Amino acid sequence: MERDRKKALIAAYKERKPAVGIYAVTCQASGACWVGRTPNLDTVENRLWFTLRQGSNPHRGLQAAWAEHGADAFRFERLEQLKDDIGALTRERLLKERLAHWAAARQATVI
């Protein structure tokens, strides 16, 4: 019984669609903001924090701000999640458009 339940939970996890969207990272100490797009909003925060802690984030301005102000000064925010039922080409176009929108709205650097 328990084995069947576990298998069902694993199958459901594998079948779930990732949350595609736009996110922001804000340094509360300096007011600087960075926005990015991702195919998986559920995992991007962990990835960003990991690379920043390791000093290996490819975005030099973000990494420099992290080194100067420390982890406690940073906040991650999901800005927008796209609907699941759109095609790949439409999704890419929307991600570009929405990223540009949020970068302008937040006066942010695109990462």
CB neighbourhood size of 76 (10 A):
14
Q: Which residues pair with 77 in a beta bridge?
A: 24
Please choose, from the candidates 51, 48, 53, the residue with its C-alpha nearest in 3D space to the C-alpha of residue 36.
48
Helices 41-54 and 60-69: crossing angle in degrees, nearest 10, is 70
Task: Give the model's pLDDT for residue 5.
Answer: 85
Distance, in Å, from the CA atom of 82 to the CA atom of 98, rounded to the nearest integer, reads: 10
What pLDDT score was predicted for residue 109?
A: 98
pLDDT of residue 82: 96
The pLDDT assigned to 105 comes to 98
Q: Which amino acid is present at 51?
A: T
pLDDT at 14 > cutoff 80: no
* Per-residue model confidence as pLDDT tens digits over 31-55: 999 999 999 999 999 999 999 999 9
Domains and their CATH numbers in the chain? 22-110 (3.40.1440.10)
Task: For residue 13, name the pLDDT band (cuts at 50, 70, 90).
Answer: low
pLDDT in tens, 50-108: 999 999 999 999 999 999 999 999 999 999 999 988 888 999 999 999 999 999 999 99
DSSP assignment, residue 30? T
Least reliable range by pLDDT among 8-12, 25-29, 54-58, 71-75: 8-12
pTM score, whole prediction: 0.85
| Nearest residue to 35 (alpha-carbon basis) of 98, 99, 82, 80 | 99
